[in-house]
Amino acid sequence: MADRLIKMLENNRMITRGIGQKNTGAILELDIDETLPVSIDWSDWLGTDTISSVENDATSVTVSNASNTTTTAAFSVSSSPGVIEHRITTAAGSIKELRVYVDTPGFSVTDDYGFRGRLT
């Protein structure tokens, strides 16, 4: 199984492994019956700050096994297609969000404006 990693950098840049990118969001493709783990490394973006809490607001997907350290967050994703609003709050009070689009071959995702379409 390939790693699913998002590394958040400064200025809304990111590096991904096993996950695609769309604008400032990430795209994860999985089959209807799959469950995949995702890790998000915030260490470069955080600098000397640390993560104090993490929220994952999911629409039409299931997020499970959520955990975090002071620099990374992890969760598993199943039941797609949909969108995850991943949000961290830092010890200094900063809030940063990352949108993770979960796509399934043959299905489409509806965005905030009601547009339905393929993500790739």
Q: pLDDT tens track of the chain, all 120 residues? A: 446 878 888 877 777 877 778 777 888 888 878 898 999 999 999 999 999 999 999 999 999 999 999 999 999 999 778 999 999 999 999 999 999 998 887 665 555 555 555 544
pLDDT of residue 74: 94
Q: Answer whether 0.85 is exceeded by the pTM.
A: no
Residue 112 lies in a domain: no
Helix (H, G, I), strand (E, B) or coil at 78: strand
**Total of domains in the chain:** 1
Range of the domain at 16: 5-107
Q: Domain for residue 80, yes or no?
A: yes
Angle value at C-alpha 36, between 86 and 66, nearest 5 degrees: 45
Domain CATH code at residue 39:
2.60.40.10
Q: What is the DSSP string of 12-31?
A: T-EEEESSEEETTEEEEE--
